[in-house]
Amino acid sequence: MNTTLRRLSTVVMAMFLALMVSTTWIQFVTAGDLNEDPRNFRNIYSELGRDRGPIVVGGEPIVTSEPVDDDYKYQRTYSGGDAGAASVYAPLTGFFAVTGTYTGLERFANGYLGGEDDSLWLDRLQNLITGEEAQGSSVELTIDPKVQQAAWDALGDYTGAAVALDPKTGAILAMVSKPSFDPNSIAVHNAGDATAAYNELLNQKPRVNSEDGEERFSTYGPTINRTINATYPPGSAFKLLTSAAAIEYNGVTPDSEIPAEVIYQLPGTTGPNGQVGNFGGEPCDASGKMTLKAALAMSCNTAFLDLANEVGKDGMQRMFQDFGFTESLEIPMTTTIGAYPGLIGGDEDDDSDARISLSGIGQGSVRITPLQVAMISAAVANDGDLMEPYLIKDVRDSDLELVSQTKPSRYKSPFSSSTADALTEMMVEVVNNGSGKGAQIQGVQVAGKTGTAEDNPRSPTLWFTSFAPADDPQVAVAVVLENQGQSTNETTGGALASPIARQIMQAAISR
């Protein structure tokens, strides 16, 4: 073989080798990324060309795939195409669009719904052998339709959210976020129309009240699930966590007397700018002291400012972390972490004594989600054991055979059962004789806590969190009304949010 032929052979072999490496790389190494790339319309045709599994609530499908006579073969349909009914569940279900965008459960349970999860390999093998059309699995949720509807109706026209948990298992019984949207408008089979509908939703921001009289808008639009992906200042609802830290770490009891001055000077500050008073500027007790139970019942700001300072940075940060609030959950949607001074998500460079003290009343840089607030009540209700919240009850294949079933598991144990008992006693007092009377249910003892959080320049954000019955808890609830307060007694968390929580608890107890 002459030199020219050898060189040509070498070049040809190198080209074949490059082709083999390139093909192997595309087919095996990057195949997953290419399949998931939203620009890969071949994948979209494949996804919508199969009978995608339903999402089920209370034994009835709320999301289905209907056969249609077009290139996609199936139309994803939410609540039978009823816009109003679909809106009740939209922040949960999300949508599946021909543009390759999918959100909510449509995204985070896509492996099951699309029939591609590793646990469904036997079904895929059978389809390959028989030549039958691939089908997705049904995903049944823990949501109770009665509780979900009660939460939806009770929230009315408010901008806000409500979430209900079974404190003994962590199952999510209701998850409502308002304003909502109609996913059917985005699931259309025209890419241009789908994009236009989605962009319109992204640009919508509901108008909220302001303290300065100027027009203000929420930072969260209708496509954001406010229960898990919106964070707010928790205000006085956070006094539960402050109380838990004081009882668990400092040996305080519900009957311990703590300072409750008219005005509290934040540590390390001087002058009026560092002074914080009570709601309405009223004294909590003429003596300047009161029991922890009484302070929580009337939601005395100065008492909890001082209490957080006594617990200190290490104790307050530890309790926040022991609840898991600096960690994301997969329920299966990913939840947003909370924010606390000195911790990830908060003012990491500002954990001064003043900031820690201010956090005792849920102000300053503290931010948490409604789900996290419900988790505080759930931990109290379950003797200090916080169960991991979950949304998927079980998954069944196209033959209705059980593929997977969620087993309740403990997530955290932020405090002891004795601390939980003390907090329960105090929360019962809040509802019986304190700021949470609006949550009272005849014949049922309710434990709860109000919250009215300053959110300047917007109006106060209102809270109520609770569980019932207090002696045998069946449901833990959190309600948030975004910037719905007006700094008056008639627009506090106790006045507006607690009646909403009452209706949700009533629906859960009467299931």
Angle subtended at Cα 452 by Cα 255 and Cα 261, rounded to the nearest 5 degrees: 45
List Cβ neighbours of 85 (8 Å cut-off, separation of 6 or more).
62, 79
- Tell me if 433 sits within 8 A of 492, measured CB to CB: no
Pairwise CA distance, residues 292 & 263, whole Å: 17
Among candidate residues 65, 79, 177, 236, the one labeled active-site is 236
Angular region, 384: left φ>0, alpha ψ -120 to 50, beta rest:
left
Give how far Cα 217 sits from Cα of 205, 211, 229, 353, 497, Å: 6, 12, 17, 32, 21
- Tell me if 151 sits within 8 A of 176, measured CB to CB: yes
Pairwise CA distance, residues 246 & 360, whole Å: 10
Of 52, 41, 46, 42, the residue nearest 99 (C-alpha): 41
List Cβ neighbours of 399 (8 Å cut-off, separation of 6 or more).
none
Pairwise CA distance, residues 292 & 304, whole Å: 9
Of 308, 297, 231, the residue nearest 436 (C-alpha): 297
Pairwise CA distance, residues 181 & 338, whole Å: 26
- Catalytic residue check, 236: yes
How far from chain centre, in Å, is Cα 495? 23
- Tell me if 61 sits within 8 A of 54, measured CB to CB: yes
Beta-bridge partners for 391: none
| DSSP strand pairing (55-57 vs 138-141) | parallel
Pairwise CA distance, residues 52 & 65, whole Å: 6
What sign results for the dihedral spanned by CA atoms 38, 44, 48, 51? negative
Pairwise CA distance, residues 31 & 34, whole Å: 5
Over 383-439, what HEC string results?
A: CCCEECCECEEEEECCCCCEEEECCCCEEECCCCHHHHHHHHHHHHHHHHHCCCHHH
Other residues' Cβ atoms within 10 Å of the Cβ of residue 38? 12
Pairwise CA distance, residues 184 & 79, whole Å: 9
Catalytic residue numbers read 236
